[in-house]
Homo-oligomer: A and B are copies of this chain.
Amino acid sequence: MTQSAAYQRLTARFARIATIQEAAAMLGWDAAAMMPEGGAAARGDQLAVLAGLAHAELVAPQVADDLADAEAAQPDPGADQWAAANLRLMRHAHTRASALPGALVEAQARENSACEKIWRQARSRADFALVRPALETVVRLVREQAQALAPALELAPYDALMDGYQRGIGAADVAPVFADYETFLARALPAAEARQAALPAPVRPAGPFPVAAQEALCRRLSERLGLDFTHARLDRSAHPFSGGTATDVRITTRYDEADFAQAVLAVVHETGHALYERGLPAAHARQPVGEAAGMAAHESQSLIVEMQAARSDAFLAWLGPELHAAFGGDLAPYAPGNLARLWRRVERGFIRVDADEMTYPAHVILRFRLEQALVGGDLAVADLPGAWNDGFRALLGVTPPDDARGCLQDIHWYDGAFGYFPSYTLGAMAAAQLMAAARRAVPGLDAALGQGDAGPLLGWLRVNVHGRGSLLGFQDLLRAATGKPLDPADFEAHLTARYLG
């Protein structure tokens, strides 16, 4: 099918934008994994200039004309669904970028960065009052941002923020799912705790575990899970992440010689993200329709590998001997049953990033409710610590001993990111839903995992998730892959089987 000249110009422009963003992604990886401290100031300038260039390409006057011409010229959308979806996504990106006044964008960049710096001090001192004025500024600007985006996107203000992380998903999609989970948790968590208390205490493998041995194991494991290191690197950074580009993914982890679990499980998680990037449709590379389908979709891919596959009984049975071969020592701690008790423990902890898969959604539900109230003006920043602690107690029955273990623990809000938190739990739920569908579709899936072979799972994900890029929205992607939109039932069934079975 021949595309209009306007559409051709748009694809060239969006390819240029994506290529600039690739450069920025590499520089972001370098900043976290390689850059000497003295390079930070210049790196900030480099990233700001690249972001400015990409933004300028996106809001150039020619784009509006080309979009209008390409939309008018569009033939039967059934004829090329990829091009039709791509054009819609271009329009969406242009609308988002054009809706914000330049002065607001600059003010947010400046104030978010300033607040984030103060937050680091405030967290280390557990002193919310220190960062409160800066957070008030950040929240005021986020409200302006939401108000500016909402009419352009025809969404409610908070939904307009959520849309920036997981397009097409709003509070109305999330609230009932989270309410359902809250009910489930109130019943399941005490039951899981009781069952756990009745099991033998897990034995921790005895270290030290040399970093070189951990690193070699992590790389082998990532390769085994399907990551091709002619298109990837594994490095170290303060916080594990997956970055880079689709043909050159960069994953990182950190090593603790006393405990290999942190490094290994982080690499498994980041490998899930990396495999998604590697599996995106190459024919649509550097086009909006060729990108990953959003943050929740991305998290579903890290969690399906980490939580669904790698922590399954089948995979642990293969992994235990591998770990023992790498580190030696007593065999007992590497018995699959012991690893399961060690890595599948529920706990009413205060810190989200340390939470187990059953309590994690409670951390997210709390933040989802609080950030809606903050953005909507129903909660003042001054009242955040109290509201946090009340909400936490209501969900998990315990009260944070200080704000460092309460409303100061996450960087997100202090850096201006509102609407992002739900993605973590949407991803966890989608991972369970996709895994259930994959198990139905691929009979030998668990048997293969028992041989350390994630190939059958990966093959199914390539077709049903990765290869679809952004052709479908999050809900439609789930419908196409699993037969239904987001449904907490599969996640709850997974937790029931694993923690109450």
Judge whether B30 and A46 touch: CB under 8 Å: no
Q: Which residue of chain B has the shortest Cβ distance to A46 in the bound complex?
A: B23
- Between A27, A41, A45, the greatest number of chain B beta carbons within 10 A of the residue's beta carbon is seen for A45
Q: How far is the CA of A20 from the CA of B42 in the complex (A)?
A: 11
Judge whether B36 and A34 touch: CB under 8 Å: no
A231 close to B (CB within 8 Å): yes
Q: A34: which B residues are within 8 A, CB to CB? A: 34, 233
Q: How far is the CA of A49 from the CA of B24 in the complex (A)?
A: 12
Please encode chain A, from 23 to 36, with 1 for each CB lying within 8 Å of some chain B CB and 0 for all others.
Answer: 10011001000111
Judge whether B230 and A37 touch: CB under 8 Å: yes
Judge whether B36 and A49 touch: CB under 8 Å: no
Q: A120: which B residues are within 8 A, CB to CB? A: none
Among B46, B230, B247, the residue within 8 A (CB) of A42 is: B247
The contact sample of 15 A-B pairs, CB cut-off 8 A, is A16-B49, A19-B45, A22-B42, A23-B23, A23-B46, A26-B46, A30-B30, A36-B231, A36-B233, A38-B247, A38-B248, A39-B244, A41-B247, A42-B247, A53-B53
So how many copies of this chain end up in the complex? Answer: 2
Q: A88: which B residues are within 8 A, CB to CB? A: none
Q: A231: which B residues are within 8 A, CB to CB? A: 36, 38-39
Judge whether B230 and A36 touch: CB under 8 Å: yes
A50 close to B (CB within 8 Å): yes
Q: How far is the CA of A248 from the CA of B34 in the complex (A)?
A: 11
Say which size band chain A's interface belongs to. Answer: 20 to 34
Q: A341: which B residues are within 8 A, CB to CB? A: none
Q: A26: which B residues are within 8 A, CB to CB? A: 26-27, 30, 46
Q: Which residue of chain B has the shortest Cβ distance to A19 in the bound complex?
A: B49
* Known A20-B53, A39-B245; further 5 A-B contacts with Cβ < 8 A: A19-B46, A23-B27, A36-B229, A37-B230, A42-B245
* A1-28 contacts to B (CB < 8 Å): 16, 19-20, 22-23, 26-27
Instruction: Give me the interface of A with B, judged by CB distance under 8 Å.
Output: 16, 19-20, 22-23, 26-27, 30, 34-39, 41-43, 45-46, 49-50, 53, 228-233, 244-248
Q: A232: which B residues are within 8 A, CB to CB? A: 36, 38
Q: A230: which B residues are within 8 A, CB to CB? A: 36-38
Q: Which residue of chain B has the shortest Cβ distance to A43 in the bound complex?
A: B248
Q: A246: which B residues are within 8 A, CB to CB? A: 42
> How many Å from the CB of A103 to the closest CB on chain B?
18
> How many Å from the CB of A135 to the closest CB on chain B?
30
Q: Which residue of chain B has the shortest Cβ distance to A22 in the bound complex?
A: B46
Q: A36: which B residues are within 8 A, CB to CB? A: 229-233, 248
Q: How far is the CA of A23 from the CA of B244 in the complex (A)?
A: 15
Q: How far is the CA of A45 from the CA of B15 in the complex (A)?
A: 10
Judge whether A248 and B45 touch: CB under 8 Å: no
Q: How far is the CA of A46 from the CA of B37 in the complex (A)?
A: 25
> How many Å from the CB of A216 to the closest CB on chain B?
16
Q: How far is the CA of A50 from the CA of B246 in the complex (A)?
A: 19
Q: How far is the CA of A38 from the CA of B248 in the complex (A)?
A: 6
Q: How far is the CA of A16 from the CA of B233 in the complex (A)?
A: 30
Q: Which residue of chain B has the shortest Cβ distance to A57 in the bound complex?
A: B53
Q: A233: which B residues are within 8 A, CB to CB? A: 34, 36
Q: A35: which B residues are within 8 A, CB to CB? A: 248
Q: A39: which B residues are within 8 A, CB to CB? A: 231, 244-245, 247-248
